[in-house]
Structure 1
Amino acid sequence: MESSPSTPTRTCLVCGGQTTSAHYGIDACRACTVFYRKARKKKMYVCRSSAKRCGVNQDGAFACKRCRFDRFERILRRSAIEQKELEALQKSHRISSHPSSSTATARPLLDKCANAYRMLCLMRRNSELVARPNPPHPSKINSGEYEIIASTYGIMNGSSHSLLTGILDMSEILFPEFSTFSKDEQWALAVNYFNRIFLFDACYRADKIYPDDMNKALGAYTAYMSVDSVEHFFDDCPNQSTNLDDAKKVLEKFMFAVPLTRIAVRRANLDDEEFLAVLVLTFWFADCLQMSDEIVRVGERYRQEVLRELQIHYKEDLKLDDFAARIGELFMLVFNFDRTSEIDEQFEIYRLLGVFADDTFVYRLTNRPE
């Protein structure tokens, strides 16, 4: 049995540096905490770029003090909300679909999305790690001390199953109306969301984990993909008739396009609220599907609500008056990651090459549910 791990090293949520302690109830390094304590007592700093979107580096000489302070404030606010919701969950022993006092803020949908997405991430992480031949110690899983390994055919298929299950659960939590839709409608929305959000989330998280390696994307929550990993990706493919050489060429071509996709995400430079807004907007961009009028109305209502909350964020948090162009950038990002037709085409090629069988889970995502 593994021995209990030593004090874990965490990533500072403010500057990205390494820390072994928490301050104010969040993972924040001592340097950022000292800065925040002093900054609260001083006259408010002015943003260097006036846009209040500066990157925050661990080296204070290169950091915008106003943006560093604002980021600390936002993380504290989000942490307080999450703690209240956690206490509510522990008290009731179930997830309630009704609004509570913890979400009685100016941005209830974004706050709810933050918690739903966090639960989705935890579910994906845990299910993938315990499925490994030698799972990490539970304490190491909890503290984030595990290796991000190269993805394979088997990992991709299993993680996709886990992600789809999580999307269905998250949808019921985040959108109460979802449970009133038919099973076919729920599945169509979930699969459409999977096809749109998978690559976006893979590149967004890769930018946090591999900021200096633009060739990598997250092929699963705990596994990466790159051109270098293509050679062994199909090692655990169970289909003996697979044309491996051609299959590797198809995957390699796809991976060569990853840097451009990573660049698109990095240029967008989303803050936490914008990332959550993109998650909601992407879910309800199902215009390509033949949906009932009721689903269309529900989707439009949620799109309007998330835009309203986003405007509050721009006005109150960032003190911006003109943000129309920024909202336009978010919509373009959503459109840019609509890769449904590309995924369907690539998966069909894999089936023809023998990589996917008719009952392979990820291939069935292009078809109707059983």
Structure 2
Amino acid sequence: SIMAAASSSKPYECLICGVPIYNANLGIDACRACTVFYRTALSSTKELLCRKGTDDCFVRNTRPNCRKCRFTRFAAVLSKSTSGATTSAMLLQRDNGNDTDSSDEPHSNNSNGVQNTFIDHRSFSLFASCSTDAPFFDRMRRAYSLLCLIRSCGEQGTYSDDPVGAKKGDEMTFISIVKSNKQANMAILARGLIPFYDSIFEDFRGLTNESKNFFVNRSLRMIQSLDGLYRSAHHFPDEDILSPTYTTYVSMDILDEFVENRFPEPEQELMAKEMRGNFHRSVDIILNEYKRVKPTNEEFLALMGLSLWNNELSRVNEEYSEIVTRNRSAVLSELHKLYTELGRTDYSVRLGDLL
């Protein structure tokens, strides 16, 4: 099923010490322990000294480690992450819907109206403003297209004017992940998801800001994966290409360049091997499963809702068990109602494919 595949990805590794992680800190793939250490060392007036006196004795997956070299390693990774964006804002701006030409309307494979239009930043003007009592999927379509608009504008703002690595999708230009700032783009997604879910779920609106951030951060990898599948399958239906953020793409032929740009030379061979394996798994298992099932727009939007209210949150914090169960049931009820209206009788089978 799509949800199971999207949520079964391996944990990421902390780029500092190598331990498995599921969430980023300070905008990079770093564990909480390394992040706390870096912040503490940064504010300390005590000089850090290399244990061996060589200033290069840090070894991943080894404890304990030299404090100075650990600090230097963190600073280097953080610096690479924040300086990685060197792509074309102008090219994206021209091709990604910032003019009024009617040819930029989102592509639709049939003539059944707005509901069957691929939803992205260009479709925002097609969906009428919705009140909180409007039909569920009407609110979802409007909110998701607004999220796309936020991400399109936000990601373009992180790029410079170098068009190297651009690739055309359906009336939209994608930039090589090599030339992008993935962590900044992920932060834009995370910030945009809060007003997105605010506009759809009353229970989410009632949460504290701390709880909202908890829900979004714990669900972010799954949401990102699902969102990327929706756009990859549309823009590159016959290619093995993934879209990790709204305006970027990654393919097998650019992975080596990505590794060379983001990792120290001693780690490049190992990281390249691991990333190729992850890419193959993502394409062979997750992307191909998505293309096989071919979720409709409404099914995709339902999965976006279920990704927020995922059962894993209940296991992490029992306090949220009731709200998760209630909202999962509400989303599934809306999906069942839609199938009934369409005359579909394979509700259980279809849910098996989706979930």
Give yes or no for TM over 0.5.
yes
Q: Which string of whole-angstrom CA distances, capped at 9 and with x for unpartnered residues, describes residues 19-74 of structure 1? A: xxxxxxxxxxxxxxxxxxxxxxxxxxxxxxxxxxxxxxxxxxxxxxxxx45x3374
Given the superposition, is the C-alpha separation of residues 146 and 114 from structure 1 closer, same or farther in structure 2, using an over 3 Å criterion?
A: closer
Kindly indicate whether residue 306 of structure 2 is the aligned counterpart of residue 281 of structure 1: yes
**2:268 pairs with one of 244, 259, 262:** 244
1:172–1:178 contact (8 Å) kept in structure 2: yes
Using the alignment, how far apart are the partners of 1:154 and 1:285 within structure 2? 30
Q: Which residue pairs with 1:14 in the alignment?
A: 108
- For the 8 Å contact 1:8–1:145, the answer to whether it is kept is no
The alignment covers a number of residue pairs equal to 249
CA contact (8 A) 1:81 1:111 kept: no
Q: Which residue of 1 aligns with 2:214?
A: 188
Residue segments in structure 1 that go unaligned for 5+ positions in a row: 16-67, 89-97, 137-143, 332-370
What is the alpha-carbon distance in structure 1 between the residues aligned to residue 337 and residue 159 of structure 2? 43
Structure-1 residue corresponding to 2:316: 290
CA distance in 2, matches of 1:146, 1:73: 19
In structure 2, C-alpha distance between the alignment counterparts of 1:170 and 1:176, rounded to whole Å: 12
The whole-number CA distance in structure 1 between the counterparts of 2:202 and 2:99 is: 40
Aligned to 1:84: 128
Matches within 5 A, 1:144-183: 147-152=173-178, 154-183=180-209
Q: Which residue of 2 aligns with 1:199?
A: 225
Tell me, in whole angstroms, the C-alpha distance in 1 between the residues paired with 2:225 and 2:266: 25
CA–CA distance in 2 between the matches of 1:129 and 1:152? 15
1:129 equivalent to 2:156? Answer yes
Q: Is the 8 A contact 1:129 1:135 kept in 2?
A: no
Query: What is the CA distance between 1:277 and its match in structure 2?
Result: 1.0
Q: How much does 1:192 deviate?
A: 2.1
Please name the residue that 1:19 is paired with: none
Q: Deviation string for 1:296-326 (max 9, x for gaps)?
A: 222222222222221221121x212342211
- Match for residue 99 of structure 1 among 132, 144, 169: 132
2:140 to 102, 113, 129: 113
Tell whether the 8 Å contact from 1:189 to 1:286 is kept in structure 2 after alignment.
Answer: no
Contact persistence 1:315–1:321 (CA under 8 A): yes
Residue identity opposite 2:140 in structure 1 = C
- Are 1:209 and 2:235 counterparts? yes
* CA deviation vs aligned residue, 1:148-196 (integer Å, no higher than 9, x gap): 1210375211111111111223222222332443444322211222121
Supply the distance in 1 between the matched residues of 2:232 and 2:180 (Cα, whole angstroms). 20
On the 8 A contact 2:143/2:199 being kept in 1, the answer is: yes
Residue 287 of structure 2: aligned partner: 262
Instruction: Specify whether residues 80 and 158 from structure 1 end up closer, same or farther in structure 2 by C-alpha distance, changes over 3 A only.
Output: closer
Distance 1:146 1:179, change over 3 A: same
Aligned 8 A contact 2:154 2:188 in 1: yes
- 2: distance between equivalents of 1:134 and 1:99? 41
> CA RMSD of the aligned region, Å?
3.3
2:113 aligned with 1:72 = yes
Instruction: Give percent identity, aligned residues only.
Output: 21
| Distance (whole Å) between structure 2 residues aligned to residue 188 and residue 301 of structure 1 | 18
**Following the alignment from structure 1 to structure 2, what is the Cα–Cα distance between the partners of residues 116 and 6?**
21
Stretches of structure 2 that go unaligned for 5 or more consecutive residues are 1-89, 164-169
**How far apart are the structure 2 equivalents of 1:9 and 1:188?**
40
Contact 1:203–1:217, Cα closer than 8 Å, also in 2: yes
Aligned to 1:362: none
Contact 1:216–1:258 (8 Å) recurs in 2: no
2:220 maps to a residue whose letter is F
CA separation in 2, counterparts of 1:190 and 1:262?
23
- For the Cα contact (< 8 Å) 1:230–1:252, is it kept in 2? yes
Once the two structures are TM-superposed, the CA of residue 292 in structure 1 deviates from its matched residue by 4.7
**1:151–1:233: 8 Å Cα contact kept in structure 2?**
yes
Q: For residue 271 of structure 1, report the CA deviation from its aligned partner.
A: 0.9
The range that moved more, 176-185 or 303-312, is 176-185
Residue type of the alignment partner of 2:347 = F
Partner of 2:325: 300
> Given the superposition, is the C-alpha separation of residues 6 and 74 from structure 1 closer, same or farther in structure 2, using an over 3 Å criterion?
closer
Counterparts of 1:211 and 1:11 in 2: how far apart (Å)? 19
Distance across 2 between alignment mates of 1:115 and 1:297: 27
Q: Distance in 2 between matches of 1:226 and 1:147?
A: 15
The letter for the 2-side match of 1:176 is E
Scaled by the length of structure 1, the TM-score of the pair is 0.59
TM-score by length of 2: 0.61
